[in-house]
Chain A
Amino acid sequence: MSAGQTSWRIVGGRLLDVSESLDRHADLLIVEGHIAELLEPGKPGPAVPTLDAEGCWVLPALTDLHTTLNEPGFEHRERLSELFATAAAGGYARIVGAPTTRPTPDHAAIIDALLHRSLADGRIVFHPLGAATTAHGGQQLSEIGELIQAGAVGISDGGKPIERGDILRNALDYLCQFSVPYFFTCEDPGLAAEGVMHEGLQSTLLGLRGVPAVAEELMVHRAVTLSALTGCPVHLTQLSTRGAVALVRTARAVGVKVTSDVSPHHLWFTDRRVRGYGTEARVRPPLREEDDRQALLQGVNDGTIDAVASGHAPQSLLEKESEFEHAQPGVSSLETTLPAVLTLVEAGVLRRDRALDALCHAPARVLGLPAYRILPGEPAQLVVAEVSRPWTVDPRVFATPARASLFAGVELVGRVRYTLRQGHLIGSSGSPGPGFAVRGTNTFLTR
């Protein structure tokens, strides 16, 4: 973090802000952390340091709706400081952390502690989610009011869906007084229990137990129906099936308050990616079939799916270098989400306006957070992404020690060059992270 420097001129970039219908080649002048004005390229202006954005798009900085927190409790996977570093390196100025710490954030003191740590770090705006039930046990409601007062921006089941219908209904009912959404993990625990990948032809060929698509569809139906009953807004995290997309489309058409997100890897890959048993393909929810992938792309393009969320779920090397069915699910995703989406835009598969909205604006709308915009007077929350030249993803230079990535070795456009928050340069590419050197043959690096 370059201490104190908050005035810049971003030179030679293409400014894109879909919420303002801004699409213009112009220089951006930032003074004292705020956007001062848009200048014609080459037009003289105040003497401030320049950031070269030649061949780049300048976008509002990203907000992530789904990243797993591992401190406290699972520090061997990723510490908070490493999380903030990898987020900044990925173009994120704001992240929402799922309540996956241990102890569970079911008490205001833990929310407090998390916020303190993020403020002390200072790079990223951090919003924690509170746990719906104590220890995610699905039995006893947490003190949700206190969690929200302490700073939680939403309530979540943290990956362990509440099984009993009456308790879930009470949680949603109770939440209605607070105008925050309930973050739903769409996975029936019984149907998903034994599965390590999508249940289909590939799971049969590979001899691995599968999670059927209905495990997600059943829970989406449940979420949507209870949301309609109680009037509580729900956010469905990490959709993966065409059935879920169809259910969400129908529900929204009749006015149910449901929003949803999808991960970049579910827009890119299918269950065929598991062939070879590379554990970077062990993710939750699992990668599904081509028809599902097409439905997810269509869902982003027609607005059924509001946001693209990274689904960042870092795992330690030990937890990933193992047999497929024993590996922990999860990949490092924050540094590759923006490039993965921009590559799909460049390929013509995703509509640009929808993709940029899904990354930059929809997450804030889902939570009622202030929007980041490229407008004179607004704080400078920006990401500069290089779209003119492709680059090959190398997880060894990630700012997080978690190196399992589905995009390892993949050529993407949209590498983040600079990330600014409040005018501070919090991330710039080319600087390797604090991770350790890779020893021996990492299976997920030899692909």
Chain B
Amino acid sequence: MLQALGSFWYLASIPRPVEPDAELAGVPRAPVPSVLCEQRSWRGDAMTFARRHLLGLEDLTESELLHILDTAASFKQISERTIKKVPTLRGRTVVNLFFEPSTRTRLSFEVAAKRLSADVLSFTTAASSTSKGETLADTARNLEAMSTDIFVVRHEASGAAQLLSRLVRSSVINAGDGAHEHPTQALLDMFTLRERFGRLRGLKVAIVGDIRHSRVARSNIFGLVRLGAQVRLAGPPTLMPPRVEALGVTVHHRIEEALEGADAVMMLRIQLERQRMGLFPSLREYTTLYGLTPKRLERAAPHAIIMHPGPVNRGVELTPELADGPRSVILEQVSNGVAVRMACLYLVTGGSEA
């Protein structure tokens, strides 16, 4: 049997985690060490992450996704030490090109890059209607002329990261392009889920909110479905993207249905702009129909966790008690975010040491 386990022989002596039951309901579970996670990339697998860019999760294989999560797990340990720095990307330059305002994601990438000993530059600009593609292309070319290694780009137009990757020689990490993808957010969401539950396959995950305009939702759908999770979407029909069932998810227009037995509930932020566009009548009605309340949460599994990409509209998609309560893993997501971004920065440079 030890031979059959191969390189995992040491697992035989480590106790397996306790299955959740009613007595443990409501008590946050200890994180599952990644070495015990059922889904891990096989060490001998030649198909590790070998891409120059991280533009989205749509094309990533199961193996690549798991490799990123495993790499993030090892980087997470660094963030728990006193000296939170490794020389991995020493001498490399990471440029944060943020054409959309964002404090958290930008800071998260900055912390991640600095923990890897990279030099960080942040370039923030509001993308007004007059500054279109020329600004993106021009800015990128100018910065590249200073020989940067990695661009981390956030832009309000879908496809901006792909456009950038065609214009520059450096690596490009998509930090959110329009309504298209936000791969590092989904990766940290998946990391958080895997850490909590030891696996993603078969997990019931409900994503609630404005799916239509959400890059976080899209990236999560691609990644979670690829890794075998059961994804349920909930929201008003006007905020559902067309043909989304074709992605392997189920669509619900009553939040209670999506919550039934769910292991995790991911609430998305609702934007007032969508109401002005006539997609729903008022925030009040949206909250009445789709806001997460303790009563509605009872439908979910007893161990269910609450996730949110932030920032939270307390009183709209989440009641304050749920946002800050024991079931919420929102702050865990944030700290996992640094580890996941460290992994992504490391992997797009080929995973080589400085």
Contacts and interface: CB of A to CB of B under 8 A. Distances in A.
Q: Do A and B come from one complex?
A: yes
A321 B158 contact: no
B202 interface: no
Contact of A318 (B58, B134, B162): B134
Given A325-B158, A327-B133, A207 B218 contact: yes
B132 A322 contact: yes
B58 A324 contact: no
A74 interface: no
A286 to B, nearest CB: 13
Contacts of A199: 242
Contacts of A327: 133
Given A206-B159, A207-B181, A443-B166, A321 B242 contact: no
A208 interface: yes
Contact of B134 (A321, A325, A440): A321
A11 to B, nearest CB: 46
A207 B179 contact: yes
Interface in A62-93: none
B241 A321 contact: no
Contact of B243 (A201, A318, A325): A201
A70 B103 CA distance: 44
A200 interface: yes
Interface string A303-335: 000000000000000100111111100000000
A204 B244 contact: yes
A200 B246 CA distance: 11
B158 A206 contact: yes
Interface in A195-218: 199-201, 203-208, 210, 212
A277 interface: yes
B166 A441 contact: yes
B162 A322 contact: no
Contacts of B160: 323
Contacts of B133: 321-323, 326-327
B178 interface: yes
B177 interface: yes
Interface in A247-300: 276-277
Given A207-B215, A207-B218, A443-B166, A325 B178 contact: yes
Contacts of A201: 242-243, 246
Interface in B239-257: 241-244, 246-247
Contacts of A210: 242
A431 interface: no
A2 interface: no
Dominant secondary structure at the A interface = loop
Size class of the A contact interface (CB-based, 8 Å): 20 to 34
A225 B206 CA distance: 47
A21 interface: no
Nearest to A277: B159
A442 to B, nearest CB: 10
Contacts of B177: 207
Given A200-B243, A210-B242, A323 B180 contact: no
Instruction: Indicate the member of B132, B134, B181, B247 with the most A CB atoms within 10 Å.
Output: B132
Contacts of A177: none
Contacts of A318: 134
Contacts of B246: 201
Interface in B258-300: none
Given A206-B159, A207-B179, A321 B243 contact: no
A237 to B, nearest CB: 26
Interface in B130-150: 132-134, 136-137, 141
B35 interface: no
A204 B159 contact: no
B157 interface: yes
Interface residues of B, number: 29
A323 B132 contact: yes
Nearest to B131: A326
B73 to A, nearest CB: 29
B167 interface: yes
B159 A324 contact: yes
Nearest to B136: A323
Contacts of A277: 158-159, 162-163
A440 B141 CA distance: 10
Contacts of B58: 205
B155 interface: yes
Nearest to B218: A207
A200 B157 CA distance: 19
A276 to B, nearest CB: 7
A207 B167 CA distance: 21
Contacts of B167: 441, 443
A12 B132 CA distance: 52
A213 to B, nearest CB: 11
A189 B120 CA distance: 46
A446 B162 CA distance: 13
B158 A207 contact: yes
Contacts of B180: 206-208
A443 B241 contact: no
A324 B155 CA distance: 12
Interface in A368-417: none
Contacts of B218: 204-205, 207
A446 B244 contact: no
A323 B157 contact: yes
Interface in B186-216: 215
Nearest to B161: A277
Given A322-B132, A326-B132, A443-B163, A204 B137 contact: no
Nearest to A276: B162
B181 A204 contact: no
Contacts of A323: 132-133, 136, 155, 157-160, 163, 178
Closest 5 CB pairs of A and B: A322-B133, A277-B159, A207-B180, A323-B157, A207-B179
Interface of B: 58, 132-134, 136-137, 141, 155, 157-160, 162-163, 166-167, 177-181, 215, 218, 241-244, 246-247
26 contacts: A200-B243, A203-B241, A204-B242, A204-B243, A205-B58, A205-B218, A205-B247, A206-B180, A207-B159, A207-B179, A207-B215, A208-B179, A212-B242, A277-B159, A321-B134, A322-B163, A323-B132, A323-B155, A323-B163, A324-B158, A325-B178, A326-B132, A326-B133, A327-B133, A443-B163, A446-B166
Interface of A: 199-201, 203-208, 210, 212, 276-277, 318, 321-327, 440-441, 443, 446
Given A199-B242, A204-B218, 16 more contacts: A201-B246, A204-B244, A207-B180, A207-B215, A207-B218, A208-B179, A277-B162, A277-B163, A321-B133, A322-B136, A322-B163, A323-B132, A323-B158, A325-B157, A327-B133, A443-B163
